[in-house]
Amino acid sequence: MIFPKTKKPNVPSSLRRWASRSNLAVILADTSGAVQWVNEAFTHICDYELDEVIGMKPGHFLSGPLTEVHARETLNNSIRDKKSCLVRITNYKKNGTPYIVEIHLEPIFGPKNEHQGFISLERDVTEDERIQRQYGELNASVYQELLNRFDVVKAGSVPNS
């Protein structure tokens, strides 16, 4: 499945069928990491169509001010070294809205172990991150309240509650 740089790749029909029903964004990229094909879930998450991004590297159009440098470096190193990786990163939709995505990047090798490109499976975890942040804030608030009550009890004055 070597992807010519001048035309859309011939994506196997079984992958195309699976990807069309998946909630995971699927990106097929060439050996340099440039987009060759995306599924509908990719478009749903970030609002970019395949024709807008084909031949581009995702970091060039999805990154923004909140994009974590370490996560980008991990992705770039994995592409350079032809290794898999799993990262969470803040990306940006076409309209500039940030979102958080979990990316599982895997190199694709042919039958003779020749590197042919990459497949990236991506899941929008923005809501998960928001809930986790709220949970952390709630825990901190409850913890602080318990410390305050403990200090009052330690001082010998118990408030009427």
pLDDT of residue 121: 97
pLDDT of residue 2: 46
Nearest to 91 by CA among 51, 130, 123: 123
Helices (H), the chain: 13-21, 40-46, 50-53, 58-62, 69-81, 126-154
pTM: 0.74
What long-range pairs does 142-151 form, CB within 8 A, spacing at least 24? none
pLDDT of residue 152: 66
pLDDT of residue 36: 94
pLDDT of residue 127: 82
- Residues of the chain falling short of pLDDT 50: 1-6
pLDDT of residue 157: 60
